[in-house]
Amino acid sequence: MSTDRTHNGPGPGQKTSGASVQRPRRIWDISPPLHAATPPFPGDTAYQQQWAARIGPGCPVNVSAITMSPHLGAHADAPLHYADSAAAIGAVDLLPYLGRCRVIHAIDVGPLIRPEHLADAADDLPPRVLVRSCRTAPLVWSDEFSAFAAETIDWLADRGVLLVGIDSQSVDPAASKDLPSHHRLLARDMRVLENLVLDEVQAGDYELIALPLKLVEADASPVRAVLREL
C-alpha cells in the first residue's frame, strides 16, 4: 500500500539552523480500500454509498450516507462478536490498538498458523503482533486463507501479547462454526485486527495505530490501520 515520504528540508516560513532537521518517520498504510467492490464475508453487508445532498444551487455541500458491515475491510472485532454478554467495541480499552508491535511473516504455511511458524521471531515480543500470511492481499473473496490455530492464540497470550492481527479475512477458517481462535481471544481478553494489508511491510518492529470507532452497541469497527517506523 502507499507510504508517505516527506522532504527533509525546512518548510514554508521555517529557518535552517546548524542542527540537523529530524526526518519524519515513515508510515505504512495497512488498510485496504473500501468501496462497492470490496469483498465482504459471504452473507455480510457489502459497502453501499448514497448521496443525500450534492453541491449545486441552494446546496453548499456534498453529504453521503454509507451502509456496510463493520467487519468490512480492516477492522477490529469486539468481544460482543463472539459472546452475547461481552463488551461492544465502543467499550473496549484503546491501549491494545496503539503502540509498539511486531510484524512476523508466516507466508504460505498452510491453513493454520501454528506456534512453530512464529517461534523464530518470538524473543522479547511487544504487546502487539501482526502476521503476514499471504504474498498479496486478496482483491476478491476466497475461503482459501490462513487462520490461527487456537493454541497459537494461547502461545501469544502467554508471552504478553494483547492484540493479534492478520492479513486474511478471519482468525478462524472460513468454514469454522465453533470459532476456536475467536473464543481463545475472548478467554485471554485479547483484541484482534483482521483484513490488514501487509504486502509491503518487512518483518520487524513498528508502532501500530489502529483505533476503532466508539460504536457503543457494535460488534466490530472499521479502523484506518497504519504502521509507523520507530
Catalytic-labelled residue, pool 81, 105, 117, 182: 81
Say if residues 30 and 201 touch (Cβ distance below 8 Å). yes
pLDDT at 1: 42
Lowest model confidence (mean pLDDT) among 2-11, 90-99, 202-211, 220-229: 2-11
- Say which residue, 143 or 212, is predicted with more confidence: 212
Q: Domain 70-228 adopts which CATH fold? A: Glucose Oxidase; domain 1 (3.50.30)
Which of 97, 86, 228 lies closest to 162 in space, CA to CA?
A: 97
Tens of pLDDT along 104-131? Answer: 999 999 999 999 999 999 999 999 999 9
pLDDT at 18: 52
Band of residue 9 on the pLDDT scale cut at 50, 70, 90:
very low
Mean pLDDT of 146-169: 97
Q: How high does pLDDT run on average in the chain? A: 92
Mean pLDDT of 15-29: 77
Band of residue 102 on the pLDDT scale cut at 50, 70, 90:
very high
C-alpha cell at 86: 461481552
Lowest model confidence (mean pLDDT) among 6-15, 68-77, 145-154, 170-179: 6-15
| Active site (annotated) includes residue 81 | yes
pLDDT at 19: 60
pLDDT at 146: 96
- Residue indicated by cell numbers 524473543: 123
Mean pLDDT of 140-144: 88
Tens of pLDDT along 155-164? Answer: 999 999 999 9
Judge whether residue 17 has pLDDT over 80.
no
Residue 228: which H helix or E strand, with range? strand 226-228
Judge whether residue 6 has pLDDT over 60.
no
The 10 Å CB-count burial string (b at 16+, else e) for 125-160 is bbbbbbbbbbeebbeeeeeebbbbbbebbbbbbebe
Judge whether residue 80 has pLDDT over 80.
yes
Show Cβ contacts of residue 228 under 8 Å, excluding neighbours closer than 6 positions: 25, 26, 27, 28, 206, 207, 209
Judge whether residue 5 has pLDDT over 60.
no
C-alpha cell at 105: 511473516
Show Cβ contacts of residue 102 under 8 Å, excluding neighbours closer than 6 positions: 121, 125, 126, 128, 129, 130, 203, 204, 205, 206
Lowest model confidence (mean pLDDT) among 9-18, 88-97, 118-127, 167-176: 9-18
At 168, is the secondary structure helix, strand, or coil?
coil
- Residue indicated by cell numbers 478471519: 170
